[in-house]
């Protein structure tokens, strides 16, 4: 016998349809109010652009020193990654001939190998800067304990090499890779975080003329200039310095330490 498909009464079907419509409208209203009350999404942070040649990387929290201590037509020269037995003495002699002062950011491992150069830098009236024990450019991502060991360890090596209590007023992050925790650790060691405002880019070995021209174009009163006396062959840096020192004097600049 054929069977009939049983269908619910029309009134029941209309009731179900009406219920579905009501639920849909209620859901739409609820979503509207939720969206209206929700905070506006914050765009994801964008990476900072790479600075053009001759300019320092942007600050990353904390107060980074990138000007001279005194205002006016002053310039502060800084040398990284030494001391080096070949280039540090040549740079010291050039500075002495010009009556200039500079700050030497030293790596603890090099300090241990050449303590006599630390004493020579101090005896010439220069200042010291802590550049960590091992020049670990990934230091901002390490633990606080590791940061402290790298910074305090270099400070200790400088004291031992100098043979007396010696001031180390600055800390410079390897590669200029800064973070707020790294600056905080340095501050607890009574060191200012030393950056720069002019990158000579001598570390790229572009040639002496390019180093000289780059510094001359970028320097301004109060500038802190980044150079290197270690970390590789620095013949170009020495040659450039011998040209830049008299040029600074001819332009009315005097030499100072970072602020």
Q: Which domain CATH number covers 164? A: 3.20.20.370
Does 56 map to a domain? no
Do 87 and 189 fall within a single domain? yes
Q: Taking a C-beta distance cutoff of 8 angstroms, is the pair 115, 138 a contact?
A: no
Does 102 map to a domain? yes
54 pLDDT more than 70: no
Does 12 map to a domain? yes
| pLDDT confidence of residue 183 | 96
64 pLDDT more than 50: yes
Expressed in angstroms, the distance from the first to the final Cα of the chain is 104
Per-residue HEC secondary structure of 12-63 comes to HHHHHHHHHHHHHHHHHHHHHHHHHHCCCCCCCCCCCCCCCCCCCCCCCCCC
Write the pLDDT tens digit of every residue in 172-212.
999 999 999 999 999 999 999 999 999 999 999 999 999 99
H/E stretch holding 81: strand 74-82
- Give the global pTM: 0.77
Domain count within the chain? 2
Do 25 and 124 fall within a single domain? no
| pLDDT confidence of residue 23 | 36
12 pLDDT more than 90: no
Task: Domain of residue 137: give its range.
Answer: 64-255
Does 73 map to a domain? yes
Do 150 and 83 fall within a single domain? yes
Helix (H, G, I), strand (E, B) or coil at 88: helix
Q: Taking a C-beta distance cutoff of 8 angstroms, is the pair 257, 69 a contact?
A: yes
Do 27 and 69 fall within a single domain? no
Do 29 and 81 fall within a single domain? no
| pLDDT confidence of residue 63 | 86
Q: What residues are labeled active site?
A: 80, 228
Q: For helices 87-98 and 115-123, what crossing angle results, to 10°?
A: 0
The string of DSSP codes covering 139-203 is GGGS-HHHHHHHHHHHHHHHHHHHTS-----EE--GGG---HHHHHHHHHTT-EEE--SEE--GG
59 pLDDT more than 60: no
């Amino acid at each position: 016998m054929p069977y009939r498909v049983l269908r619910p009464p029309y009134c029941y079907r209309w009731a179900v349809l009406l219920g579905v419509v009501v639920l849909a409208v209620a859901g739409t209203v609820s979503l509207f109010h939720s969206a209206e009350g929700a905070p506006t999404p914050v765009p994801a942070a964008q990476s900072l652009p790479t600075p053009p040649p001759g300019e320092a990387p942007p600050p990353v929290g904390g107060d980074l020193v990138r000007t001279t201590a005194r205002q006016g037509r002053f310039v502060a020269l800084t040398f990284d990654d030494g001391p080096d037995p070949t280039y540090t003495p040549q740079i010291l002699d050039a500075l002495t001939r010009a009556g200039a002062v500079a700050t030497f950011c030293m790596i603890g491992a090099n300090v241990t190998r050449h303590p006599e150069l630390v004493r020579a830098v101090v005896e010439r009236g220069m200042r010291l800067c802590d550049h960590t024990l091992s020049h670990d450019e990934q230091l901002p991502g390490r633990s606080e304990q590791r940061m402290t060991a790298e910074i305090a360890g270099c400070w200790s090596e400088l004291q031992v090499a100098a043979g007396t209590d010696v001031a180390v007023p600055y800390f410079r992050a390897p590669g200029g890779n800064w973070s707020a925790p790294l600056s905080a650790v340095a501050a607890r060691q009574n060191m200012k975080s030393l950056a720069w405002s002019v990158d000579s880019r001598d570390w790229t070995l572009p040639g002496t003329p390019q180093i000289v021209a780059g510094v001359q174009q970028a320097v301004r009163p109060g500038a802190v200039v980044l150079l290197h006396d270690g970390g590789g062959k620095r013949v170009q840096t020495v040659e450039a310095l011998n040209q830049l020192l008299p040029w600074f004097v001819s332009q009315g600049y005097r030499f100072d330490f970072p602020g």
